Structure 1
Amino acid sequence: MEIIEGAGVWTPLAAGAANDWVEHLRVPDLSVGTYCIPAGGRDDQSPHTEDEIYVVTAGRAKIVTLDGAAEVGPGSVIFVPAGEEHRFDEVTEDLALLVVFGPAYGSRAPLATGK
């Protein structure tokens, strides 16, 4: 067992940073981290090669995919399959996300699109 301190907690960003990703745990089959985007910030992530789950722990935004968009806030749980384009938009309150990747983030070969 391991208690993961600070996972999903909003952390002020370093000066000049657009957003922040911190990995808290990594084992071969999954990784857990926190992704923070400040209010008014821009999410410029590319599709990932792993499935992921986001749990919104603080803030409000809209998640946008090619299939549509949805408002999210504290308690929202979002599943994004590997390879699906997605981003958080219209971040109206500092957004903190607990992120779980399966398998561990970056452990699969790059997508055919090069992203």
Structure 2
Amino acid sequence: MQIIEGAGTWAPPAAGAVNDWVEQLRTPDLSVGTYCIPAGGIDDQSPHTEDEIYVVTAGRARIVTPGGTAEVGPGAVIFVPAGEEHRFDEVTEDLSLLVVFGPAYGSRAPGR
């Protein structure tokens, strides 16, 4: 057993960064991290090679995918399959997301 300290907790991006990503746990089969976007910020991520679950722990935004859009806030749980374009926009309150990748983030990327 392991308690993952700080997972899902808001952290402002470093100076000059548009958002903040921290991986807090990594095993071959999954990884857990926190993704934060400040209010009014930009989500500049690209599709991932792994399935992904987001849990909104704080803030409000809209998630946009080819299949549609949805308003999200604390408690929302979002599944994004590997390879699907997605981004958060209209971030109206500092957004903090607990992120779970299966398998671990980047493990299916070419060249790994």
TM-score class normalised by the smaller sequence: over 0.9
SS in 2 for 1:97: strand
1:57 aligns with 2:52: no
Deviation at 1:109, TM superposition (A): 3.1
Provide, for residues 11-54 of structure 1, a one-character-per-residue CA deviation record: whole Å limited to 9, x for no partner: 12211110010000000000000000000000011000000000
In 2, the alpha carbon distance for the partners of 1:16 and 1:45 equals 16
1:31 aligns with 2:31: yes
In 2, the alpha carbon distance for the partners of 1:80 and 1:109 equals 16
Equivalent position amino acid for 1:34 in 2? T
5+ residue gaps, structure 1: 111-115
Name 1:20's counterpart in structure 2.
20
In 2, the alpha carbon distance for the partners of 1:26 and 1:109 equals 15
Equivalent position amino acid for 1:78 in 2? I
Name 1:70's counterpart in structure 2.
70
Structure 1-normalised TM-score? 0.94
User: Percent identity of the aligned residues?
Assistant: 87
5+ residue gaps, structure 2: none
Give the conservation status (yes or no) of the 8 Å contact 2:12–2:19. Answer: no
Structure 2-normalised TM-score? 0.97
- List structure 1 segments (4+ residues) > 2 angstroms apart after TM superposition: none
Name 2:5's counterpart in structure 1.
5
Equivalent position amino acid for 2:97 in 1? L
